[in-house]
Each structure stands twice: as C-alpha cells, then as structure tokens.
Structure 1
Amino acid sequence: MTIRDFFAPFYIHPIVFIFIFISFVTGTFIQLFIILVIVMVHEMGHYIAAKIYNWRINRVMLWIFGGVMETEEHGNRPLYEDLIVTIAGPFQHIFIYIFGLFMSTFGFLPEIIVEQLMFFNTVILLFNLLPIWPLDGGKLLFYILAFYMPFRKAHHWTIILSLCLCLGVMIVQLFILPFTLATFLIFAFLIMENRLEWKRRTYVFMRFLMKRSEGNSEVRSMRPIVVHHTQSLQEVLYLLQRDKKHSIYVTFPNRERLIVDEAECLRGFFYEKKYKKTIGDIAMGSL
C-alpha cells in the first residue's frame, strides 16, 4: 500500500475551512495547525487499529477538535474490537505528550510551541472523552449501555443523551459563560451529527440484524428472553443484545411456554417475510 492509498479515506470537513479563515484573520494559524496535527494523529490511531481488524472504512472526516471514522462495522464487530479501535485514538495522546517532553528537553522547538502543544493535546483528549456521539466518549457510552441493554435501546439512548448534553452546553455558554464562536460551532456540528444518526437509526438497527442473521456475530454469553405470545416478531427483535445469544421463551395464557431460537426469528423476519406475525405464531409454526 502506498502513502497515497493509506491517506485516501481522509477528508477535511468544510467547517475546518471556516476556522482556517478565522485563524488567518485573528493571527492564530499556528495554534490551528497544532490542533489539526493532533486531530490527525488521533484519527490515525483509530484508522490503523481498524485496519488491523480488517474493518471496511468508508472515510475519515477531520474537523476541529476531532474527527469521524465512517465504517460499515457499526455494531457488527465483537465488542472488544470496538473498544480497542475507539481507545486507540485517545491512546495516541500519550505519544504526543512524550513527543512534547522530548522537544522541550532537547530544545528542538520553542517553549511556547511546546506549551501550546501540551495544552491543546489535553483539551482535545478531554473533549473527545465527553459522552457525546460520535466522540470517543459517546461511543464508549454506547458500548456500556449496549452491555446492559438491547442494541436498539442503547443506540437510541446514546443519541438522546448526546443531544441533551450538547443543548445543555450551548445554553450554558449562551446565558452563563462568555460566548465563543468556536465552541458554538463545534457543538452545533455535534447536534447535526446526532440528528443525522437519529434519522439513520432504523438503518443501523437493520444492519445489526442482517449481520446477526448471517451467523457471524460474536457470542460471549447466553441470555434468555421471556416474551408474551401476542408480541410482534419485530418487538422481539428489538430485545436482541450485542455479543449475546438468545433463546426466546414465549408464554401463553395457559402457562404453556415454548422456546424459539433467535435464528428462527431472524429467518422469519428477513427471508420468510413474517414480520407482521406475532411471536406466538412463530412459536406455534415451529412445532
């Protein structure tokens, strides 16, 4: 792979050009350059880790104080892979700290540049750990919720909590803290990203189910699901969790209980077009 091929998925978000213009006007281009270098190193951590696991990567979008790596593996890979790929970004900040100390010790860079490097490195690291999607902290929040909740519910709550936090920060900045255009634009961008993710929520969930129906999903534990026979097949699929294999226990009025394998539910939903059936119908049909 050539250097050009390696960096082919990297793109710069249009909002960055607004900040570049502002930096030239305000004389802060050096500070912006330091920020962009830190962001690039951060995203390369995600990118290299994803490449190691052979993830399908669409593009890596760079913007101020962070970036977004768009892949086709959202929720379909083992949880430990998601965690490693996510943590690989913040982990790069350790190397940046080491680089800054090295430059300072041997005087290869002016002290003022090193101080700015260390400051922005800390700010970007802490910012990316905020529990806001699609920041690293937001992804970690999603993984934690997905460990305890069904995939669909965890995804929905991650977006809702992210939007609430973004709006809260913007309200505080407008009415309590001094207003800064940079902060306002960053959190406005995050709100747009979460709004887009909310519009894509059905597609994300269907992609999760499709991957699961192929039988290639990671299974770490078994967890039974108890449902009433009147619940629809789609409602039952809403209860599926990541990295867990489910046996569906269907209860009937006479206290009879039938067991349906989740693979049968997925097959009925995608291939036999039984998405309008109840889980009771599926259970009785399997007898």
Structure 2
Amino acid sequence: MIKLAGIPVSFHPLFVIVMLTSVFTGHFAELIVLFGIVFVHELGHAAAARMLGVTVLSIELLPFGGVAVMEENGYLTAKKEIAIALAGPLQNIILAGMALLLHLFEWWDGPSLTYFIESNLLIVLFNLLPILPLDGGRICQSLCSLFIPYHSTLLWSSRISVFFSGLLTVYSLHPLVLGQGIQLNLLMVGIFLLYSNLVDHGHIPFRFIRFLIGRQRTFSKQLQAAKKAQPIVADEAKPLDAILRLLKREKYHFVYVMNVKGELMGIVPEQRIIASYLSGHPEL
C-alpha cells in the first residue's frame, strides 16, 4: 500500500495477478497505460470529493478498474454524489481530448495514440453502466434517492446492479453461440461485479442502519431547512422500521401519528423515531 496526498492506495490481489500475467503474455506496457488511465480516473473522483468537503478514505485498484472509497458521514447530497461520480469519466474525456490535440499538432500518431484514445472512451462507457460500484451505478442510485425513499433506493439500485452485471456476464459468453472464443476479461469482470452485488444486496439492512445514524448526526442542519420538511402519516401501531423505510434522503420528516379513528395523536420528529428504533423499541 502507498499513499498519495494522504490517501492510501491499495491493490486488489487479482490486480497483482493480472499485472504479473501480462509480463508473460507480452501486454505489460499496454496494461500499465490502461491502469495509469484508470488511476487518473480515480484521482478525478478523489479531487472532486475533497473540493466538496467529502473525506476520501482510500483508492483501491481492482481487476476491472478502481474504486475511490469515501466516508459516509450523512453530509453527502445526491447532487454532490453525482458530481463526484461524473468527475472520473470527465478525466478520461480530457485525456482523450489532449491526445487528439497532440495528434492535430502532429506530435503523436500511430497505434499507441489509437490505443490511448480508445482505452479512455471504453473506460468512460464501461463506468457509466448502471452497476454499483461503477459511476453509472452511483449516479443511478443518487437519482433514485431524489424521488423514492432511501430504503427503496438501496433495494432498487442493488437489483438494477445485479440485473445488469448478470447481463454483462451473459453477453461475455455470446461468442460461444457464434462458435468463437469467449471474452475472458469481460467474463471475469461480469462475474466479479455480479458476485459483489449479490453480497452487497445482503448488506442492505446494515447500510440502512448507517444511513439512520448519519441522519442523527445531521439532525440540526436538516431541522433548519424547513423547505425540505415532508410529513409522514402513520398509524400508532405501525412498526418503527416500516415508518423509517419511508424516509427520503434529502427530506426532513415529521410523523403525524393517527389512531384507529383517524384522530391525530401527536406529531413526532424523525430523530425521536430513529432514536427509539436504534435503542430497540419496535413501535411508536
């Protein structure tokens, strides 16, 4: 592990195996260039996150690219998350544009130029797939959180990721139908993403708990934003977890508690319900 500007940079074991394999297959130079491009891509995420006040915990280089791990402190809005996600592909577009500019001045030409530009464009297109933890998956999740409750956001973004990573895996096998060899690299990436998202789907309850804890930290900030307040009407016998699953990421909620006769029993701010739930009380 190394550090760059205070950010730990680690290498996934499969990444190391792929690099060592490339030495024996004669593609080491191409792979070095490719992962250099990926590294710049991740630095774009890290720089954007720091500019927006988000702590970058680490950067990990994976067999299919890289992931910038950021602190989930409750202050990251959907708009900020989308901006951070787009900052990575933007670096690749800039790199491809600079390469074309060098070509116009006749300072760079040949197969290496074509490889460099195509690699950048492929990384952009691949990362915009709606699969977590790719940029497209993060953008999809952030957009969902603007319209539906956060628990539903976690569920649907996970389901979409599983579906498209499965589709990617199946697509990598389609040359077999044509009597050709399978796309081994794409198959490995597809299986890796599919497995990761299936495992992550089982972690949704823990991610939702982290979300609730983050809401507690930002309560005072949310309470001051009256324009973001949104009511939730709930029966007094309704379980707390069912109410909490209605919370939206960027809305503050007051819960209007009703009895069986439809009479208002009280108005409860969301932080009291979160505190009760986290302390082990299942009902209002």
Fold agreement, TM-score > 0.5: yes
Q: Which residue of 2 aligns with 1:262?
A: 270
Aligned letter for 1:16? F
Check the 8 A contact 2:7/2:56 in 1, yes or no: no
Alignment of 1:247-258 (within 5 A): 247-258=254-265
Say which of 194, 210, 219 aligns to 2:213. 210
Q: Partner of 1:148: helix, strand, or coil?
A: coil
Q: Partner of 1:83: helix, strand, or coil?
A: helix
Distance in 2, Cα, partners of 1:75 & 1:172: 37
Q: Which residue of 2 aligns with 1:165?
A: 164
Aligned letter for 2:197? N
Evaluate the alpha carbon distance shift between residue 186 and residue 210 of structure 1 in structure 2; reply closer, same or farther with a 3 A threshold. Answer: same
Distance in 1, Cα, partners of 2:118 & 2:220: 44
Q: Partner of 1:248: helix, strand, or coil?
A: strand
Say which of 271, 276, 281 aligns to 1:275. 281
Instruction: Report how many aligned residue pairs link the two structures.
Output: 274
Q: Which residue of 2 aligns with 1:285?
A: none
Q: CA deviation at 1:14?
A: 1.8
Alignment of 1:10-21 (within 5 A): 10-21=9-20
RMSD: 2.2
Aligned letter for 1:246? H
Q: CA deviation at 1:88?
A: 0.9
Distance in 1, Cα, partners of 2:159 & 2:150: 14
Q: CA deviation at 1:31?
A: 2.2
Q: Which residue of 1 aligns with 2:136?
A: 137
Distance in 2, Cα, partners of 1:90 & 1:221: 31
Q: Which residue of 1 aligns with 2:111?
A: 112
Distance in 2, Cα, partners of 1:237 & 1:67: 33
Q: Which residue of 1 aligns with 2:247?
A: 240
Distance in 2, Cα, partners of 1:115 & 1:175: 26
Give the TM-score normalised by structure 1.
0.87
Distance in 1, Cα, partners of 2:220 & 2:160: 30
Q: Partner of 1:223: helix, strand, or coil?
A: strand
Displacement over 4 Å in runs of 4+: 175-178, 216-220
Aligned letter for 2:238? Q
Aligned letter for 2:122? V
Check the 8 A contact 1:233/1:269 in 2, yes or no: yes
Distance in 2, Cα, partners of 1:212 & 1:4: 31
Check the 8 A contact 2:85/2:135 in 1, yes or no: yes
Distance in 2, Cα, partners of 1:180 & 1:36: 19
Check the 8 A contact 1:146/1:154 in 2, yes or no: yes
Query: Which structure 2 residue ranges, 5 or more long, are not aligned?
Result: none
Alignment of 1:67-106 (within 5 A): 67-73=66-72, 76-106=75-105
Q: Which residue of 2 aligns with 1:282?
A: none
Aligned letter for 2:131? I
CA deviations on 1:117-149 (whole Å, 9 max, x unpaired) are 111111110000000000000001101111111
Distance in 2, Cα, partners of 1:188 & 1:232: 38
Say which of 227, 236, 251 aligns to 2:234. 227
Q: Which residue of 2 aligns with 1:123?
A: 122
CA deviations on 1:204-252 (whole Å, 9 max, x unpaired) are 2111111111215655622221222221112211111111011212232
Distance in 2, Cα, partners of 1:160 & 1:256: 39
Greater Cα shift, 168-177 or 137-146:
168-177
Check the 8 A contact 1:234/1:275 in 2, yes or no: no
Evaluate the alpha carbon distance shift between residue 76 and residue 157 of structure 1 in structure 2; reply closer, same or farther with a 3 A threshold. Answer: farther
Q: CA deviation at 1:267?
A: 2.8
Aligned letter for 1:19? V
Query: Which structure 1 residue ranges, 5 or more long, are not aligned?
Result: 280-287
